[in-house]
């Protein structure tokens, strides 16, 4: 006599058999989903049961209770399937999920704007794979069939009042539900949803309040006596999702630590800073996967300790990377504005990287009175292949550019041209001051420099041979 198995029992392995009716594969094992007898037919394991359970299929109309609402998605517990025998639903299909855009033909900021927990809904199954997905938007017969008033618990009745389509006769609460056409056992209630319409200003103001606007206040609560509601912010272990609220550090005691390697350990970093004083708070920022984001904050008991740590550890190499340590509350130092130099501004391109500003200045000083060099660099401070030289007297700009264009400098032929000033006014652009339809505000010489830089970056660089 074959033994009876219950849901959750391992009945075989995926190496020898494949799952059939009433079984599923999990981590290489075949697990029973029903109570019954294991039957093998041509390598397929199934569960034979006398009390057959329902399997949901695409197109089924299900009745369910809303059990979970997130901002953009929700979940119902399937109670029954219309048109099929009233039998229990398979355990892996007991819950179905939906997206906020599949509730009704109206924009909803949040699932709670069209549904609430404990609402009874009708929905159509749109997917029946590993996850059951439902839709309440396409069919007017889908939506909320029955709903209770969250504040008092009485039953909502369909009643149109502006954007709100349900009302409570006990406490006077009004709300919106994505109603099915036969809400409350009546007919024609889907028309109260206002499909395709925009929300009024009052409704948008209610939604804009966020969680506070969607909160439930118990109508029979003794605190509902007309006094203004007070919202408390809990500190310590009881608030913030179980995390203790960080106390604000005294000025100068909190350090920002940046440039950290993703491989650095908390204890390793803490030990470096612990040498300089007592640490009262240590926070290494991490992403959702638990990986370091490359920076953190360390708070010392006294400002003197923080200053000593910043002086000693700023620029220290940890795991091959130099870290930066500074006062987290101090304002960032602004880079000094570049002084405007009078004279003729000349663009110099295709410069050799071995050349220095002094070399370039010396080249120009042979043809003018003064030469101020402004060599372009990238974010890391490395020199680019172009520079701008401002010379005096300004009248000799075009003459000097023609003389030095094509000049050879440390093995490279440099390009020299007079840099045209930027035309900021629309009138100048319309008269050809910005040829080629350039709206970026850069001169033609600067655009050429950027193009040369981009072309140079595309060149393949040979790796140095290993000894």
Neighbours of 51 (CB within 10 A): 9
Complete DSSP assignment for 379-415: TTS-EEEEEEEEEESGGGHHHHHHHHTT-EETTEE-E
Specify the CATH number of the domain 254-327: 3.30.70.330
| Domain ranges in the chain with CATH number 3.30.70.330 | 254-327, 344-423+443-455
For residue 285, is it left (φ>0), alpha (ψ between -120 and 50) or beta? beta
Closest CA to 113 of 168, 180, 178, 159: 178
pTM of the model: 0.44
392 φ/ψ angles, rounded to the nearest 5 degrees: -130, 140
- What CATH architecture does domain 61-208 belong to? Beta Barrel (2.40)
Q: In the prediction, which pLDDT does 429 show?
A: 43
Element (H, E) at 360: helix 357-365
Q: Which residue, 57, 73, 75, 53, is CA-closest to 65? A: 75
Please state, in angstroms and rounded to a whole number, the distance separating the CA atoms of residues 113 and 106. Answer: 11
**Sequence ranges of the chain with CATH classification 2.40.50.100:** 4-48
Cite the residue boundaries of each domain of the chain with CATH code 2.40.50.140.
Answer: 61-208
Tokens of 372: 């101020």
Cα distances (Å, whole numbers) of residue 357 to 178, 233, 372, 386, 452: 72, 60, 9, 11, 20
Where does residue 252 fall: left (phi above 0), alpha (psi -120 to 50 degrees), or beta otherwise?
A: left
- Residue 289's contacts (CB-CB under 8 Å, 6 or more residues apart) are none
* CA 370 to each of CA 327, 345, 418: distance values in angstroms, whole numbers, following the listed order: 42, 12, 16
Backbone angles phi, psi at 205, to 5 degrees: -65, -35
Q: Please identify, in words, the CATH class of the domain defined by 344-423+443-455.
A: alpha beta
Helix axes 266-274, 303-313, angle to 10 degrees: 110
d(CA 452, CA 391): 23
The pLDDT score that the predictor gives to residue 107 is: 92
Contacts for 196 with CB less than 8 Å, ≥ 6 apart:
105, 106
- Which ranges of the chain have pLDDT less than 70? 1-2, 51, 212-213, 217-247, 332-339, 379-381, 421-450, 452-467
CA distance 389 to 374: 6
Return the H-helix or E-strand segment holding 270: helix 266-274
Provide the pLDDT for residue 337: 54
Please tell me the predicted confidence (pLDDT) of residue 208.
83
For 435, the token pair is: 């040829």
Q: Is CATH 2.40.50.100 what the domain over 4-48 is classified as, yes or no?
A: yes
Q: How far apart are CA 79 and CA 69, in angstroms?
A: 18
Residue 136, pLDDT score = 95
Report the distance separating Cα 450 and Cα 64, nearest Å: 62
Positive or negative torsion for Cα 175, 180, 184, 187: positive
């Amino acid at each position: 006599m074959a033994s009876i198995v219950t849901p959750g029992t391992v009945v075989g392995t995926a190496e020898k058999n494949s799952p059939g009716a009433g079984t599923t594969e999990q981590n290489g094992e075949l697990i029973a989903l029903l109570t019954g007898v294991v039957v093998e037919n041509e390598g397929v394991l199934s569960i034979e049961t006398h009390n057959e359970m329902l399997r949901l299929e695409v197109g089924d109309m299900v009745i369910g209770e809303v059990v979970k609402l997130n901002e953009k998605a929700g979940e119902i517990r399937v109670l029954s399937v219309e048109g099929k025998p009233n039998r229990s639903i398979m355990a892996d299909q007991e819950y179905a999920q939906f997206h906020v855009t599949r509730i009704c033909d109206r924009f909803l900021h949040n699932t709670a704007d069209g549904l609430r927990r404990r609402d009874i809904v009708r929905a159509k199954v749109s997917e029946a794979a590993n996850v059951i997905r439902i839709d309440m938007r396409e069919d007017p017969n889908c939506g909320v069939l029955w709903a209770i008033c969250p504040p008092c618990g009485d039953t909502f009745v369909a009643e149109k009042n502006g954007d709100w389509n349900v009302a409570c006769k006990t406490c006077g609460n009004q709300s919106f539900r994505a109603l099915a056409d036969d809400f409350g056992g009546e007919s024609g209630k889907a028309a109260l949803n206002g499909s395709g319409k925009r929300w009024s200003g009052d409704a948008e103001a209610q939604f804009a309040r966020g969680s506070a606007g969607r909160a439930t206040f118990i109508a029979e609560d003794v605190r509902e006596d007309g006094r203004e509601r007070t919202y408390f912010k809990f500190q310590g272990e009881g608030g913030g999702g179980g995390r203790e609220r960080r106390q604000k550090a005294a000025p100068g005691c909190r350090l920002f630590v940046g440039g950290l390697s993703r491989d650095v350990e908390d204890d390793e970093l803490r030990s470096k800073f612990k040498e300089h004083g007592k640490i009262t708070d240590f926070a290494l920022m991490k992403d959702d996967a638990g990986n370091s984001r490359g920076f953190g904050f360390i708070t010392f008991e006294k400002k003197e300790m923080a200053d000593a740590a910043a002086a000693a550890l700023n620029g220290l190499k940890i795991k091959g990377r130099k870290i930066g340590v500074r006062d987290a509350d101090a304002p960032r130092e602004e880079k000094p504005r570049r002084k405007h130099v009078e004279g003729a501004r000349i663009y110099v391109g295709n410069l050799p990287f071995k050349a220095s500003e002094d070399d370039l200045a010396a080249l120009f000083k042979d043809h003018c009175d003064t030469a101020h060099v402004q060599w372009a660099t990238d974010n890391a401070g490395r020199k680019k292949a172009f520079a701008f030289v401002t010379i005096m007297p300004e009248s000799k700009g075009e003459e000097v550019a023609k003389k030095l264009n094509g000049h050879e400098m440390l093995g490279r032929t440099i390009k020299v041209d007079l840099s045209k000033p930027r035309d900021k006014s629309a009138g100048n652009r319309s008269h050809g001051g910005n040829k080629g339809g350039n709206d970026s505000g850069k001169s033609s010489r600067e655009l050429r420099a950027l193009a040369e830089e981009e072309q140079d970056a595309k060149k393949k660089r040979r790796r140095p041979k290993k000894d």
